Structure 1
């Protein structure tokens, strides 16, 4: 995006015109604190416009938090703010538009399927971004809501982390308490019990997202209950065979390079188990996640090359 676009200012009227008065056909998604629309300005520039639900408690705080975090951090894999718009009872962020939508939409699409390299690449992008947030600053940033709908994909299928509305900046401490609740299924046990958040909270959400990416099962799927959640389901069945849990559109026994792909999926799901330990201190950190995922990808490439020779 050009420097001129990054500093551009937009009026409320321009946002109305760009979204056809925030029409349903422009709607991209709805979250707890905001609704996101696709916008197209008269010069052809395409953006995502996040309009905050100011009638709900916490929406204005969410707007302020997202502005604070995204102006403080700069990385290729974060969705960038182009501008903001405040007009009395109206607050909106103008964001980069991600042409391929969210990881969630891609996973559950009826007319497309992500291959194993795309899934590994997306999850490496997310892990690198979290590593940057957790270790790239003297005060770590905790996203607090890692899930497939918050992973957005650009034209080149590069993943960008979005929605920093409940993110926390840790000032010297390793963790903090908050009353803001993240998404059920991706939320850590200590977050749900005590409102405790730390970088290990993001690791847990990342682990659940990694499981979902390779199993195509949501943690809120109807087959799960209090006794059997997504993590325990994979933990119980993975030692028997990865074929019991893998997304059937990703891996079939008749696939070319089946053995190499099967090993990679198994390794990725084993890594997810290390991210989702009940005790935060038992979870690995994002540096280790990046190292292990890259090794999984490189081993897969090497095995495919060897089988093809």
Structure 2
């Protein structure tokens, strides 16, 4: 997932015109023979013009990974990719898809509510390999990562 973050950093800050991927999701991340992640499917990506921080466009991204302001208003910005990246991280750590939830509950909300009291309830048990004091240290690290991940998924005001 660090490779994906580096790719986003390059797209957003390293290109002469910032590129917004607009459809960041697990199926658009490919692994090479060395297990290095690469972003793919730039079919709906957008270029930001000089002095542009966002733009309006037709909404065609994947439900569950799409930032709410993009889904509601068609407003895309670098923040939309960060939101999608956060959802991908949540999916990676919980082994739950963002569209598995019903009603008003979302993957982000489920993790937010559970994280404060019961990290073990949301984290995929296959990721935790230790026991005793070492397990608690792993849980503390995972909880810290999950808090940053939740921050990636903050909704921008419409």
Give the TM-score taking structure 2 as reference length: 0.93
1:141 to 19, 25, 32: 19
By relative contact order (CA 8 Å, sep 6+), the higher-ranking structure is 2
Q: By how many angstroms is 1:241 displaced?
A: 1.9
Which residue of structure 2 lines up, in the alignment, with residue 179 of structure 1? 58
What is the rounded CA distance, in whole Å, between the counterparts of 1:229 and 1:255 in structure 2? Answer: 32
Structure 1 segment 83-102 matched on structure 2, within 5 A = none
Q: 2:120 aligns with which of 243, 249, 256?
A: 243
Secondary structure of the 1:152 match is strand
- Of Structure 1 and Structure 2, which has the larger fraction of its residues in strand? 1
CA deviation after TM superposition for structure 1 residue 226, in Å: 3.0
- For residues 32 and 45 of structure 2, the distance between their equivalents in structure 1, rounded to whole angstroms, comes to 22
Note the C-alpha offset of 1:185.
0.3
Confirm whether residue 150 of structure 1 aligns to residue 28 of structure 2.
yes
Instruction: Decide whether the 8 Å contact of 1:166 with 1:180 is kept in 2.
Output: no
Q: Does 1:226 align with 2:110?
A: no
The one of 207, 215, 221 equivalent to 2:94 is 215
Any conservation in 1 of the 2:59–2:70 contact (CA below 8 Å)? Answer: no
Q: Do the aligned partners of residues 252 and 142 (structure 1) sit closer, same or farther apart at CA in structure 2, a change above 3 Å counting?
A: same
Q: State the distance in 2 between where 1:158 and 1:198 align.
A: 26
**Is residue 201–residue 280 contact of structure 1 (8 Å, CA) maintained in 2?**
no
Contact 1:143/1:166 (<8 A) preserved: yes
User: Unpaired segments of 5 or more residues in structure 2?
Assistant: none
The answer as to whether partners of 2:59 and 2:71 remain within 8 angstroms in 1 is no
The match for 1:167 is 45
* Per-residue deviation, 1:253: 6.0
Matched, 1:131 2:9: yes
User: Contact 2:66 / 2:83 at 8 angstroms: preserved in 1?
Assistant: yes
Q: By how many angstroms is 1:280 displaced? A: 6.2
Q: Is the 8 A contact 2:67 2:84 kept in 1?
A: yes
- Between Structure 1 and Structure 2, the one with more helix by share is 2
**1:277 offset after TM fit, Å?**
0.7
Residue 252 of structure 1, CA deviation: 5.4
* Contact 1:251 1:258 (C-alpha < 8 Å) held by counterparts: yes
Contact 2:19 2:48 in 1 (8 A): yes
1:266 and 2:143 matched: yes
Equivalent residues of 2:20, 2:46 under 8 A apart: yes
Number of residue pairs aligned between Structure 1 and Structure 2: 157
- Bigger CA radius of gyration: 1
